[in-house]
Amino acid sequence: MSDFATLAAGPWGSALAIAAMALATYLCRIAGAVVMSRVAITPRMERGLRALPGSIILATVLPMILDAGVPAFVSIAAGIVVMTVTRFELAGLAAGLGTLSLIRALGF
């Protein structure tokens, strides 16, 4: 242990920190797939996982929108409308960013 402490305090410390972060992240990346390959997926689990993409999006985005306020809300609404009409992600993204820069240029 003290050997590791000496190593960590030396020039290799940041490399060890990066390796530790990389390991933790990689374990997160593979854990779900590894576990699912070992258990039988029930219809109930499948239903749950099917709700995941939209759940992740809302869970990530809602607090950010709330922090950023009305301009963020209006821009995202514009992006969603354009995406619904065009079904083209880049168009939706451009509409959202364009609306946001316009709102900010107008000084809101």
CB of 62 to other proteins, least distance (A): 4
The CA–CA distances, whole Å, from 2 to 7, 8, 21, 23 equal 8, 10, 21, 22
CB of 36 to other proteins, least distance (A): 4
Phi, psi of 42 (to 5 degrees): -80, 160
CB of 45 to other proteins, least distance (A): 7
Which amino acid is it at 39? V
CB of 76 to other proteins, least distance (A): 5
The CA–CA distances, whole Å, from 30 to 26, 33, 49 equal 6, 6, 16
CA nearest neighbour of 104 among 63, 55, 68: 68
